[in-house]
Amino acid sequence: MLKSIYCMAAIFVLSACGSNVPVEVQEFKFMIQSDDPAIQETAIALMDQYNEDVGQEVLLLTEYDDEANSFIRFENDLEAQRNILAYGTSIQEMKVSQYPETQSKIVYSMDLLFDTENFASRTGSETDQGSGAWKHLYHLFCHEVGHGLMMNHAQSKESVMYYSIPENSRETVNYKTYFEGVRQFFNIQSHDSGYQPGDDSRLGEEK
């Protein structure tokens, strides 16, 4: 069973006193911090599936340090030491412009930390998305990204954001409501790909 921890950090960078209303920048540029090719491939597959199910590319991938503002990281013995398989952190950085004509910004980013052994034991499962290994990883990934989008734990066991995730996920997981919340966060009104409400049973009540 996963016990997940959610942490939200706010960083305020004040250049000067500004009176303008800040613009929210919701651009998550991820770097995968692992030298293991199998881990990298599975992490990319998780991001790709997530974007497909949102219906828009909301999780971006970069290989450059100076471009990245979000990270997928791995730590050995995370489960043994802290009794968790993953840790999702939401970060908001307030950048106040010193020039009246330039609008201030709230820049969103996130940090996702996974137990190395748990993740590595399920690499390659993207080739069989009906497997318990993939269902577990995707559920876990969605859960931690949810924390990165400032979602809290839910009381319903069917919720993606329920505090624990079994070995092979659950027979019933309400991804539909989850992704509706994700689209609301990104102000996505419509989309041409990915999950279509009522059309895709894979993201209805089961996964």
Residue 75, both tokens: 């730590």
The residue type at 80? A
pLDDT (tens place) for every residue of the chain, 207 residues total: 444 444 555 444 444 444 567 788 789 999 999 999 999 999 999 999 999 999 999 999 999 999 999 999 999 999 888 889 999 999 888 877 666 667 778 889 999 999 999 999 999 999 999 999 999 999 999 999 999 999 999 999 999 999 999 988 998 999 999 999 999 999 997 554 444 333 344 444 443
CATH architecture for residues 5-185: 3-Layer(aba) Sandwich (3.40)
Domain ranges of the chain: 5-185
Residue 92, both tokens: 């908001």
Give CB contacts under 8 A, 24+ apart, made by 45-48: 45/126, 46/126, 46/137, 46/138, 46/141
